[in-house]
Structure 1
Amino acid sequence: MAGLPGPGALRGRVAVVAGATRGAGRGIAAALGEAGATVICTGRSSVTGRGGSDYDRPETIEETAALVNSLGGTGVAIQVDHLVADQVRALADRIRDEHGTIDILVNDIWGAEVLKGPPATWGRPMWEHSLDDGLRIVELGVRTHLITSHCLLPLMVTRPGGLLVEITDGTTEYNDKTFRLSVFYDLAKMSVNRLAFSHGHELRQFGATAVAVSPGWLRSEMMLDNYGVTEANWRTALHARRDDGYPSAPPGFAESESPRFVGRGVVAIAADETRARWNQRSVTSIALAREYGFTDVDGYCPDGWGAG
């Protein structure tokens, strides 16, 4: 129960957060910045253009890199479509030239929040879903991770101590027993857990660790917008009778977490000299908080999975 690692805990470490534009990726990049790391923030949405992003959203990788800088780290924004292998290879070449190695690789690439459909569509037979949308979910949620690992892991195994973090939704134990929304979504999220297991099998011989981490109910930019609130006043969404035209959040939203919470979990593992104990495991942000003794940015320790 050591609490959050200090501001310089990861000083000198080079991290890549693939999918750092918003949501958990931005929160993880920010937390790594808090710990002093150099954080390479990749994604499709840039000040230079959306780069094929599936979202029409204002967030950019440059904003994330600036946030890293403001928190004490060194943020580097590089526009990359992780479905395009040549772009990821070019990213690897640039990192090799400018930094020589990678200490921490976070695979947080997703981009299918719209494609997964609204709650009313969840649980329908897969043949009632759009096949194109379903295959796109698998491409965005699995193929991107495979391409990124294939191109970047050679830079992480040049010396012992590397950490690969696969960000998913639900632990292996939970997803083994629970059908997740649709066949396509279920497959994508289960696959990412298995990727951490498979990568961990191969990385162990290089003294590196792979772990799957799942946030709880994440107060992403998209989630906050859905309820018409900000991080500063998010509890307003819990009001039963709202007069602002936005829907009320269910009671479980009280246990939602900021994107920084899962980020602090990643930092805690990265700063842990015994991080190899997490190899091939699948764990939630709340489990990491209980193990390491850190809290969310508001001092609370939210249990999104326990809220049901």
Structure 2
Amino acid sequence: MDLRGKVAVVTGATRGCGRAIAVELGAAGAAVYVTGRSTRAGRSPMDRAETIEETAELVDAAGGTGIAVRCDFTEVSDVDALRDRVAADHGRVDVLVDDVWGGDQLAEFDKPFWESDLDRALLLVHNALDTHLIALHRLLPLVVAARGLVVEVTDGDTDTYEYGVGLPYHLAKSGVRAIGRVLGRDLAEHGATGLAVTPGFLRSEMMLEHFGVTEENWRDGALKDPHYVMAESPGYLGRGVVALAADPAVSRFAGKTMASWTLMREYGFTDLDGSRPDWGRWYDDVVVPGVDPTTVDASAYR
């Protein structure tokens, strides 16, 4: 998986999957523009400690070139400045990973939509979908110039509504999958490829905090939710994105939503701990039929 000489832009690269994807692209040798709102000079409204500078340093340490660029993807002028910088430096984007989200603190789960806060709902959709459209409108010409790859990052590989996630969240994530489908068709006419990807049960920084664990003792999260035995690191999806970017036949996946587990089955990579968590198979075998997860050998699914 050699991406030396390739230019990547990762939106929402401050933390979570965005950070991990940027780092794995760097480990494959790419130059990665690490973009987001949180910097050492100031935090975003998410008020998290992670910064784009830290992500860029992790990209460097992995063997790539990390370039931190503050960019608020709700501001067209910010995205114009990012586009102009990448265009001046390289004239192209080989891999665009569109991972803007910014909705964690806005989502209201397990509540009827009509009883939720409308302003929060509208802001969630604005942060989760408008940002993708703005990024794509300004950056796609650089992707087309390279006959490159666009990867939309979502949550879930189908549009089936899971009760409890709430209408705005479902709309946001389904909308990103829809963007991937449309890009799959539209970009193919220009020699480029568009698709979407999703992680499984994720061990992001915020999820670890939610479960009251760290990356070192994450398995203890199963005390709160037994299904957490199948949790995967953000680097797992990162390795899947690298595999797609390095695949000369990636266009066969145009328009599809590829999950971390389907990418693992296709390319054979492992998570950072050497395991191969298969959330899709676990979901079908354990979650859907309502099997007690504590009675299942999780190692058979990793």
- When the two structures are superposed, what TM-score results if normalisation uses the length of structure 2? 0.91
Q: Counterpart of 2:78?
A: 87
Partner of 1:170: 156
Q: Is the contact between residue 21 and residue 60 of structure 1 (CA under 8 Å) also seen in structure 2?
A: yes
- Conserved? CA contact 1:200–1:209, under 8 Å: yes
User: Is 1:99 aligned with 2:86?
Assistant: no
* Alignment CA distance shift 1:237-1:179 (3 Å): closer
Are 1:20 and 2:13 an aligned pair? yes
Any stretches of 5+ residues in structure 2 without a counterpart?
288-302
Amino acid at match of 2:149: L
Q: Partner of 2:26 in structure 1?
A: 33
Q: Classify the secondary structure of the residue corresponding to 1:176.
A: coil
Query: Residue 116 of structure 1 aligns to a residue in which SS?
Result: coil
Shift of 1:200: 1.7
Q: Does 1:219 align with 2:203?
A: yes
How far off its partner does 1:56 sit? 1.5
Shift of 1:90: 0.8
Please name the residue that 2:170 is paired with: 186
Please point out which of 120, 139, 148 is paired with 1:152. 139
RMSD between superposed Cα atoms in Å: 1.2
CA distance in 2, matches of 1:218, 1:16: 22
SS in 2 for 1:157: helix
The CA distance in 1 between the partners of 2:146 and 2:270, in whole Å, is 31
What is the match of residue 244 of structure 1?
none
Contact 1:159–1:206 under 8 Å retained in 2: no
- The 8 Å contact of residues 44 and 79 in structure 1, kept in 2 or not, is answered as yes
After superposition, residues 1-308 of structure 1 pair within 5 angstroms as 5=1, 9-50=2-43, 53-117=44-108, 121-122=109-110, 124-160=111-147, 162-171=148-157, 174-176=158-160, 178-179=162-163, 181-238=165-222, 248-305=223-280, 306-307=282-283, 308=287
Higher relative contact order (CA 8 A, sep 6+): 1
After TM superposition, give the deviation of residue 277 of structure 1 in Å. Answer: 0.3
The 1-side partners of 2:240 and 2:279 are apart by 15
Amino acid paired to 1:28: I
Distance 1:209 1:86 in 2: 26
Structure having the higher helix fraction is: 2
Q: 1:177 to 1:110 in 2, by over 3 A?
A: closer
Once the two structures are TM-superposed, the CA of residue 98 in structure 1 deviates from its matched residue by: 1.1
Q: Secondary structure at the match of 2:146?
A: coil
d(CA) in 2 for partners of 1:292, 1:232:
27
Identity between Structure 1 and Structure 2 (%): 49
For 1:245, the equivalent position in structure 2 comes to none
Aligned mates of 1:165, 1:96 — CA distance in 2: 19
Structure 1 gap ranges (5+): 239-247
Conserved in 2, the CA contact under 8 Å of 1:180 and 1:186? no
Deviation, structure 1 residue 109: 0.3
Q: Deviations over 1:133-154 (max 9, x none)?
A: 0001101110000000000011
Q: CA deviation at 1:180?
A: 6.1
Native 8 Å contact 1:167 1:214 kept in 2: yes
TM norm structure 1: 0.89
Between the aligned partners of 1:203 and 1:179, the Cα distance in structure 2 is 33
Q: Which amino acid aligns with 1:78?
A: V
- Look up the equivalent residue of 1:130 and give its one-letter code: D
Q: Contact 2:161–2:170 at 8 Å: present in 1 too?
A: no
Q: Secondary structure at the match of 1:81?
A: coil
- C-alpha deviation, 1:159, in angstroms: 3.1
Kept in 2: contact 1:42–1:79 (CA 8 A): yes
Which AA in structure 2 matches 1:145? H
Q: CA deviation at 1:185?
A: 0.8
Give the secondary structure class of the aligned counterpart of 1:100.
coil
Distance 2:211 2:201 in 1: 14
- Partner SS for 2:78: helix
Q: Deviations over 1:59-94 (max 9, x none)?
A: 000000000000001000000000001100110001
For 1:100, the aligned partner's letter is G
What stretches of structure 1 move > 6 A for 4+ residues in a row?
Answer: none
Matched length: 283
